[in-house]
Structure 1
Amino acid sequence: MQTADLKNAVVTRLQGGLGNLLFQYMAGQSLADHLNVPHHCVAGEGIGHGSALELVGIEPSYVSVPAFMIKRAGKKRDRSLTDFLRTGLGRWPLMPVREPQFHYWPGFFDLKSGCLLSGYWQSPKYFSELKTPPASIMAMNAVLNRIEPSVVSGIREGTTVCIHIRRGDYLKEPSALEVHGLIEPDYYERGHRMMEELHAPDRYLVFSDSPDLAREALGHLPKVVFMEPRPQEQDLALMSLCHHHIIANSSFSWWGAWLGRREGQTVIAPRYWFSPQTLRKKYVLDLIPDDWVLL
């Protein structure tokens, strides 16, 4: 944590799990690169501290921001806060910028320095001004070096498909289930058939936060190997090694596929990223790259 000239910087409010954090960090860094100013982060509702980003080799510059500002940054336009920040009484000259919509916001790169970004910013279009690609910002090789060599080499040999099944928090938290919904086994079965037709891969590697449920759903499919649970950064690194991907409605497996980009790669993503009631409010196609397959 450090003292910084916040008026001449971009500050990103971090929230959520590793997949969400990566979107937020890369968008903030992209805007900072566009403006040619420093990028800082603050985590949670108070003084900045470490986050899961360090697990993948990202070392953000953390700054201290008053708790009231962090709390208000996530709300809709707050006139009293805006007026406060515009006066000489405010010691923290940051203008809160709340993500106005789920899909890409064209006004993002019109923002000026001295802004506090609050949102999820889930579109690769926000990465367009990055001077260093996301894969180079992260240190996934260092993560791989902490995994048994036989596991790493086993994924690299032959043609492998990563399948990600997310169940844990979607099942445990009713509010999360209401927003995200669940991807049914039929989606994975159809993805499996498509991969067989396109690539006839050697193995399908299943990563899941609910291994027992994953086995129950996909145990009948041929050539399926269920990966042992590992720390999240190790799962992400291993997923990125796979040649092709069948992802869940999860920013975590989105990043596994994005980091694993290569020529001839096929990525299958669920057409229904959210529950039906949520999809009526959100346009999600800016999240999905044009060369990915919606199923």
Structure 2
Amino acid sequence: MTVIAYSKKYNNFFVIERKAYSPSCTYRNVYWNNFLSKLEKYLVNYFVYFPVYQEPTFEYQELPSISSTENIKLTGYFQSYKYFDSYKDEILKEIGYNTIRNTLINKLKQNNTFNPCEMISLHFRIGDIIKVHKENNIIIPVEYYINAIKHISQNTDKPIKLLYFCEAEDNEFVLTNYINPLKKLFPNTSYHKVSDTLEDWEQLVLMSVCEHHIIANSTFSWWGAYLASDTDNKNKIICYPDKWQHSKVITHSTVDLFPENWTMCKTEAV
């Protein structure tokens, strides 16, 4: 989103590299044929030489001013909402997000007995932390989800209905270590697991449809919650964990990561 917002601010044209590999040469999914198909016209296979602006910090930093004829290449995460929040509606309209969301809702209505618009999304990030990121990231404990559910239940009169998301390979782990303990504490709550047959981008869109959100220390559920916050639900509650990484290996400051109306919840018992 940052590149598009930057181009709109300075009335400049933008392009995006088509590549499916990160700078560390690991494969990552791209969605030019589905979720982001409307952006395909802006794709290039490689850049000619452009001056590079390397993100200096994970915190928000004002981007350099440029003219409508200058070229610059942005390199980094640029995930703070402050980079693109002012242009959010324009960007979502450009990618056709409402149409994508409504199409998915209609598809799900034919196959599901529950309405995601009345549910709270829970995201569990397990597998990639254990396999790849265990030195930097933490697996969020069940206490965080307990605190978040309590917070939401104290601020809504509606029955608590949970729709939870995790990788298919983590289903058993999540059921044993999270869902079963939650069922004991919140026996009157309904629990539904999102279908593993949905593509990851479809799960992201489905997450954004939910009424409230309990995200993990994950950009996936961060985006699911952020995309949801363009709705007309002024009472929407979005909970995030107070710990994003191991305290001894803080590589990214999260001070500018979360909008002010999101709620931080403790990752230990309170």
- The interval holding the TM-score normalised by the smaller chain is 0.7 to 0.9
Structure 2 partner of 1:35 = 10
Normalising by structure 1, what TM-score? Answer: 0.72
1:64 positional shift = 3.4
Letter in structure 1 aligned against 2:192:
V
Superposed, 1:1-295 pairs within 5 Å as 26-42=1-17, 43=19, 44=21, 51-57=30-36, 58-60=38-40, 61-65=42-46, 92-106=48-62, 108-111=63-66, 113-128=70-85, 130=87, 132-140=89-97, 141-142=99-100, 145-146=103-104, 147-150=107-110, 154-156=114-116, 159-173=118-132, 176-199=133-156, 200-209=158-167, 210-216=170-176, 217-220=178-181, 221=183, 222=187, 223=189, 224-229=191-196, 230-261=198-229, 262-279=233-250, 281-295=251-265
Letter in structure 2 aligned against 1:245:
H
Distance 1:53 1:211 in 2: 29
1:55 positional shift = 3.0
In the alignment, is the contact (CA less than 8 A) between 1:34 and 1:129 conserved in 2? no
**Percent pairwise identity:** 23
- List alignment gaps of at least 5 residues for structure 1: 1-25, 67-91
Letter in structure 1 aligned against 2:75:
S
Distance 1:236 1:29 in 2: 20
Normalising by structure 2, what TM-score? Answer: 0.79
1:137 positional shift = 3.3
1:100 positional shift = 0.6
Deviates more, 1:32-41 or 1:199-208: 199-208
The 1:287/1:152 distance shift into structure 2, 3 A limit, reads: farther
Secondary structure of 1:163's aligned partner: strand
1:134 positional shift = 3.9
1:276 positional shift = 1.1
In the alignment, is the contact (CA less than 8 A) between 2:109 and 2:115 conserved in 1? no
Distance 1:45 1:156 in 2: 33
Secondary structure of 2:192's aligned partner: strand
Secondary structure of 1:188's aligned partner: helix
Distance 2:211 2:31 in 1: 25
The 1:135/1:215 distance shift into structure 2, 3 A limit, reads: farther
- List alignment gaps of at least 5 residues for structure 2: 24-28, 266-270
Secondary structure of 2:15's aligned partner: strand
Give the number of the structure whose alpha-carbon radius of gyration is greater.
1
Structure with the bigger RCO (C-alpha within 8 Å, sep 6+) is 2
Equivalent pairs counted in the alignment come to 237
1:206 positional shift = 0.6
Question: Once the two structures are superposed, what CA deviation does each residue of 1:197-221 show, in whole Å capped at 9, x if it has no partner?
Answer: 1124341111111222221112232
Question: Once the two structures are superposed, what CA deviation does each residue of 1:77-114 show, in whole Å capped at 9, x if it has no partner?
Answer: xxxxxxxxxxxxxxx341011111011012x1425631
